């Protein structure tokens, strides 16, 4: 019996080394990488499909709004005194005699190839007009959101840290004014005070007329183009025209950002980990900025992104008051002249900007918050 048991043990010992344990972890690691790759591919595919479906929905909305609005695009081209034969010929040339679904598919195909039609007002392609006017709006809105973030975030944090004090009340009143004061009224008051009376800034327009055309157009952004050309005179004049409308836009974004920052900070300051840090004797500045402020950075990105998109879209009144040659002014002029190609093109660009900013906010959200990944 001992010899038999010994032989069985030897046989087991001789069999066990034949199993090679090495490749198993390698296969496990390879399969893990494959699963991670598939997850990334599915996530990227879902991201692309979401953008495509959203953009398709935007195209459908803009197209059918253009057909529902009681404006005849044919009359905008030929005029209301044109003979019936001319009217019918132009209607056929514009493809309005075809079924609605065929018109929509044709519209989608034109947009995907960059063809937004011709503008009745300017006589140029709408895509060319939008490429000319959009940088002006982008420049003003960008400076406005910089002002809003630079002032709104510290004001919101300060108001939350001093809840119930006179400082908190003043900041809340400033936010309330930003929500309630009409944009056109504030723009007119700003022109009357800072341009007509104090003469601190330049008047309406993007640039004084005798500086127009001195700087070659590279990006369409006057501040950037003047810096590239090294023309500081044009740069200073552009800043003098830009600072007032951008500050008014910044005031409206400041009100929203400060209010949301205050709300987020109040929620964090009541958390147990903040109370624990204060009990441990951590300085109040570190409690506010290192402990309480860090968790709110993620939702603040969404707030700032939405505010930025709102400035790009909602600057119509400011551009009208300041005669700013941006997309809002272009859209207003197109509506007044029944220029439907220009109206649909500008609406499409604004919607695409909203989609892009929302998706960028989602990406930054995932980067800053590991839980979202």
Residue 49 forms part of a structural domain: no
Q: Is position 324 within any domain? A: yes
Round to whole Å and give the CA distance between 368 and 364. 6
Full domain range(s) for residue 92: 55-115
Q: At what angle do helices 232-269 and 183-190 cross, to 10 degrees?
A: 130
**Residue 87 within a domain:** yes
Do 107 and 222 belong to one domain?
A: no
Same-domain check for residues 329 and 199: yes
Residues 317 and 209 in one domain: yes
pLDDT in tens, 88-120: 888 887 777 788 888 888 888 888 888 888 887
Residue 143 has pLDDT above 90, yes or no: yes
Mean pLDDT of the chain: 81
Residues 78 and 144 in one domain: no
pLDDT in tens, 172-181: 998 888 888 8
Question: In terms of domains, do 140 and 63 share one?
Answer: no
Helices (H), the chain: 2-15, 23-68, 73-78, 84-93, 100-112, 126-161, 166-180, 183-190, 222-229, 232-269, 272-279, 284-286, 297-313, 316-321, 327-336, 340-368
Domain edge (last residue) among 46, 80, 115: 115
Q: Are 357 and 305 in contact (CB under 8 A)?
A: yes
| 160 and 282, same domain (yes or no) | yes
Higher pLDDT, 351 or 141: 141
Q: Are residues 209 and 356 in the same domain?
A: yes
**Same-domain check for residues 188 and 60:** no
User: What is the distance in angstroms between the CA of the first residue and the CA of the last residue of the chain?
Assistant: 62
pLDDT tens track for 22-44: 454 545 566 766 776 677 677 66
Compute the distance between CA of residue 239 and CA of residue 251 in angstroms, rounded to an integer.
17
In a domain, 347, yes or no: yes
CA distance 227 to 104: 44
Question: Which of these ranges, 71-75, 126-130, 162-166, 233-237, has the smallest mean pLDDT?
Answer: 71-75
Q: Are residues 103 and 152 in the same domain?
A: no
- Tell whether 205 and 151 lie within a shared domain: yes
C-beta of residue 257 within 8 angstroms of C-beta of residue 153 = yes
How many distinct structural domains can be found in the chain?
A: 2
Write out pLDDT tens, residues 236-250: 999 999 999 999 999
Confidence of residue 13 (pLDDT cuts 50, 70, 90): very low
Residue 8 lies inside a defined structural domain of this protein:
no
pLDDT > 70 fraction of the chain, expressed in percent and rounded: 87
Residue where the block lists tokens 């029944």: 338
The first and second tokens of residue 20, run together, are 């090679």
Structural domain includes residue 50: no
What's the CA gap between 266 and 269, in Å, rounded?
Answer: 5
Whether 6 maps to a domain, the answer reads no
Locus of tokens 């147990």: 272
User: What CATH number did the domain enclosing 266 receive?
Assistant: 1.10.3720.10
Residue 30 lies in a domain: no
pTM: 0.78
Same domain, 222 and 340: yes
Among the candidates 65, 83, 115, a domain finishes at: 115
Q: Tell whether 183 and 319 lie within a shared domain.
A: yes
């Amino acid at each position: 019996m001992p010899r038999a048991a010994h032989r069985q043990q030897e046989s087991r010992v001789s069999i066990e080394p034949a199993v090679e344990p090495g490749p198993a972890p390698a296969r496990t690691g390879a399969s893990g990488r494959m699963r991670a790759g598939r997850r990334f591919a599915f996530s990227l595919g879902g991201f692309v499909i979401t953008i495509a479906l959203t953009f398709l929905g935007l195209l459908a909305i803009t197209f059918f709004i253009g057909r529902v609005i009681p404006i005849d695009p044919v009359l905008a081209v030929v005029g209301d005194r044109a003979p019936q034969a001319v009217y019918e010929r132009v209607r056929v040339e514009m493809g309005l005699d075809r079924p609605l679904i065929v018109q929509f598919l044709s519209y989608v195909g034109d947009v995907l190839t960059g063809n937004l039609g011709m503008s009745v007002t300017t006589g140029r392609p709408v895509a060319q007009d939008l490429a000319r006017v959009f940088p002006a709006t982008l420049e003003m809105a960008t400076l406005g959101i910089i002002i809003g973030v630079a002032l709104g975030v510290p004001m919101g944090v300060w108001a939350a840290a001093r809840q119930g004090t006179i400082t908190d009340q003043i900041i809340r009143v400033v936010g309330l004014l930003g929500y309630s004061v009409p944009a056109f009224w504030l723009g007119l008051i700003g022109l009357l005070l800072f341009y007509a009376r104090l003469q601190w800034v330049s008047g309406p327009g993007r640039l004084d007329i005798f500086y127009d055309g001195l700087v070659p157009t590279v990006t369409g952004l006057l501040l950037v183009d003047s810096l590239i050309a090294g023309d500081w005179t044009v740069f200073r004049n552009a800043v003098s025209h830009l600072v007032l409308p951008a500050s008014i836009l910044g005031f409206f974004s400041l009100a929203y950002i400060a209010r949301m920052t205050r709300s987020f900070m109040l929620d964090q300051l009541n958390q147990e980990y903040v109370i624990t840090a204060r009990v441990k004797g951590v300085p109040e500045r570190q409690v506010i900025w290192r402990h309480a402020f860090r968790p709110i950075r993620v939702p603040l990105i969404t707030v700032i992104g939405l505010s930025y998109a709102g400035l790009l879209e909602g600057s119509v009144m400011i551009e009208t008051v300041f005669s700013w040659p941006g997309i809002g002014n272009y859209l207003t002029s197109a509506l007044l002249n029944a220029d439907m190609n220009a109206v649909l093109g500008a609406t499409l660009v604004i919607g695409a900007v909203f989609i892009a900013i929302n998706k960028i906010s989602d990406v930054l959200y995932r980067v800053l918050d590991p839980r979202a990944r």
